[in-house]
Amino acid sequence: MKTAAASSSYAFRTTNNKEYESDDRHLMPNNEQTTEQQAKRGVRKGNAKLIWRFLKGSKYLFLGSILASAVSSLADMLDPQIIRAAIDNAIGGKPSEFPVWVNDLVDRIGGFAYLGQHLWIMAAAILAVALLRVAASYCSTVIGTKASETLVKTMRDTLFGHIERLPFSWHMKNHTGDIIQRCTSDVDRVRRFVAEQLTSVLRISVYLVLSLYFMFSMNTGLTLISIVPLPFILLYSVLFRKQMDAGFRDCDENEGKVSAMVQENLTGVRVVRAFGREKAETDRFEKQNEYYTSLWVKMGRLLGRFFSTQDFLSGVQILLVFVFGAVFAIHDRMTPGEYVAFISYNSMLIRPIRMLGRMISEMSKAGVSIGRIGYIMDAEEEKDREGAGEAPMDRDIHFEHITFAYENCPDILHDISFDIKAGTTLGILGGTGSGKSTLMLLLDRMYDLEPGCGTIRIGDTDIRDIRSDYLRDNISMVLQEPFLFSRTISENIGIASEGITLEEIRSAAQAACLDDTVTKFTQSYDTFVGERGVTLSGGQKQRAAIARALTKNAPIMIFDDSLSAVDTETDAKIRSALQERFGTATIILISHRITTLSKADRIIVLENGRITEQGTPDELKSNGGIYQRIYEIQSGVREGRHITAPGTGGKEVAR
Ligand SMILES: Nc1ncnc2c1ncn2[C@@H]1O[C@H](COP(=O)(O)OP(=O)(O)O)[C@@H](O)[C@H]1O
Ligand SMILES: [Mg+2]
């Protein structure tokens, strides 16, 4: 028997040539990607536009925070000037030159000599600057936090609203864990980018401009020397960016896969336990996790190289200024005060340049994140075609020449045509995978038919000309797999109908044979259903889902194998309650149980996406087809207690 690792479908190499194996082909860095894959990975245009859109509501707050931060940067720039004046003009004997307005100001106080005798005035000036800095930085933090939290809120709201409106097919295509990661970690990274990095870039620009201004004003030659290494430092950062982009994207993508795996395992915990898959799943997780870790370690090496080279280059620049400045000061080309101030400004200059490198790495991460969020935002919301409106729903339903395939899959339904008379019940029988649920999803317009692949009409109206919300409001569907939210039973049943009363909920539950069960619970209808409804049995969940559908009083009702988990007696009870409540509704019943189907007005039998039989139950009972065979097996005409019925996809049918 193959081990989990040995059964993997491909191997890939890391930089140290160690071979890892994985059964997920998406893990492999792939150069030949389709545009969709690229979009999914976060490679997209228009990132700035998207950020601008998210900034609605927080733009001015950010502006305020940036202004406050600029004031604080300006305060930083004043200290060296005060120190320079103290060293040169007040204490030392080599006065350095200040702009006229500074000299005027000092003269009004009493001149530099006076300041030299009253050094406390200089100290007071330093204190005043410090207070200004404290006030500005306080404002910047408070306003900045408000801005960044507003931004995150806008992003989350926009994303959630958008995801709610995305077509069902999009949800089927994308992993929940991955989407959640995009809405959490990626959103946070974009927040950090705007709130921290972008603000810092502006702050850095203020630093750069002001320090260069002061440096030039003191010594042009030394300033030029200090500038020479800067383009190299910057160029190095920019060149590194590309490598980092790819690296971070890989890391993010694989983080998404790790979360998706955890999420899937939590959702499928019953299957994992029931089949004793804990070890296999843990191995699978560890492999993915190890690969993910190896990507970050690789990233660490890359970043280590980057930062140390940066530090080395900045060290060289500082050394140049230190040495040349000293030489200039010795040769009287600058005063000692100017030298000290210059060194201060240079460190202020080099700090942002070094930060710029780090910033670029952070920014490239944010670029990937905004791209990954953009992948969600770019997905088109579900939209009705122009002119779509409302139409009477209590009419005959016509399926005409329906051919359908899921994306990138072979055809599942082949040229299917049948009619359902208004107010009658249609039964559908067919093996698993024959396309029954797909047909119902098409009627509910969860998927739209491609042009030329047939039409579904209600009365005379093509369902594509009916607004999807109106259509779905008028079709009450009990899905094959009932889903309950982690809310109370009454909330779960009433979720489909706004403003519903408890009486109505109970009446629906009675029809679904659930009321007796629920009233036995200590908290009755207020009983909290655990996550995914685990505190209810399969049959109870199905009945809750049926009750939910019954609250809608819709003219079209679909029961997709919805009575499979209830016993035959309850099945009969529910059907007769249905008959009573919805005498006029058009009902579609999908079932494997002949007793369920026998009361239908007409029945169609589906096999591999084609209709192989149709007629009334009486006609089909004796026409020698699948229906007859199953009828005979289930009614005991044929021998055998447990027989695998043909046409039910190997499903075991009890006699
Ligand atoms: N979202 C999907 N993407 C691709 N194939 C799908 C999807 N959903 C169902 N299928 C395939 O379509 C076929 C019909 O499925 P379905 O309509 O659910 O069958 P039934 O309800 O008759 O058991 C099956 O082969 C199934 O594997
Ligand atoms: Mg199905």
**207-243: per-residue pLDDT in tens?**
888 889 989 988 999 999 999 988 888 788 777 777 7
- The pTM of this model reads 0.74
Question: Which tens digits make up the pLDDT trace of 26-79?
Answer: 333 334 455 666 666 666 678 888 989 999 889 999 999 989 988 988 898 888
The whole-angstrom distance between residue 472's C-alpha and the CA centroid of its chain comes to 26
CA of 173 to the centre of ligand 1 (A): 13
Which ligand is closest to the CA of 436, given by its number?
Answer: 1
| Cβ neighbours of residue 209 closer than 8 Å, sequence gap 6 or more | none
Share of the chain above pLDDT 70, in %: 89
pLDDT of residue 413: 92
Ligand 1 test: best mutation among 172, 438, 607, most atoms within 8 Å of CB? Answer: 438
Highest mean pLDDT among 197-201, 332-336, 518-522, 566-570: 332-336
pLDDT in tens, 288-343: 999 999 999 999 998 898 888 888 888 899 999 999 999 999 998 888 899 999 99
Structural domains for the chain: 48-378 (1.20.1560.10), 397-654 (3.40.50.300)
The partner residues of 654 in beta bridges, in order of sequence, read: 642
Structure confidence at residue 542 as a pLDDT band (50, 70, 90): confident
**Which atom belonging to ligand 1 lies closest to the Cα atom of 441?**
17
Distance CA 42, CA 367 (A): 8
Any residues with Cβ below 6 Å from ligand 1, and which? 172, 406, 409, 412, 430, 432-438
Distance CA 517, CA 515 (A): 5
Give 410-437 pLDDT, tens digit per residue. 999 999 999 999 989 999 998 888 999 9
Instruction: State residue 651's pLDDT score.
Output: 41
Instruction: Calculate the average pLDDT of the chain.
Output: 83
Task: Inform me whether the pLDDT recorded for 14 exceeds 80.
Answer: no
Mutation choice for ligand 1 from 437, 592, 611, CB with most ligand atoms inside 8 A: 437
How far is the centre of ligand 1, averaged over its atoms, from the C-alpha of 609 (Å)? 10
Nearest atom in ligand 1 to the alpha carbon of residue 436 is 22
Which band of pLDDT confidence, cut at 50, 70 and 90, is reported for residue 3?
very low
Distances (CA, A) of 211 to 177, 182, 230: 47, 40, 14
Ligand 2 geometric centre to CA of 384 (Å): 26
Q: Ligand 1 centroid vs 432 CA: distance in angstroms?
A: 9
What is the predicted pLDDT for the residue at 653?
37
Q: What is the pLDDT of residues 591-642, one digit of tens each?
A: 888 888 888 899 999 999 999 989 998 888 888 888 888 888 887 765 544 4
Closest ligand 1 atom, residue 560 Cα:
21
Q: Nearest residue CA, atom 24 of ligand 1?
A: 433
pLDDT, tens digit, 9 for 90 and up, residues 254-283: 988 898 889 888 888 888 888 888 899 999
Q: Which of 197, 580, 543, 213 is closest to 358 using CA atoms?
A: 197
Cα gap 474→586, rounded to integer Å = 11
- In this predicted model, what pLDDT tens digit does every residue of 72-106 receive, in sequence order? 888 988 889 888 888 887 777 677 788 888 888 88
Going from the Cα of 606 to the center of ligand 2, the distance in angstroms, rounded, reads 12
**Ligand 1, closest atom to CA 440?**
17
Residue nearest (by alpha carbon) to ligand 1 atom 27? 433
Task: Provide the pLDDT for residue 571.
Answer: 79
Residue 546 has a CB neighbour count (10 Å cut-off) of 27
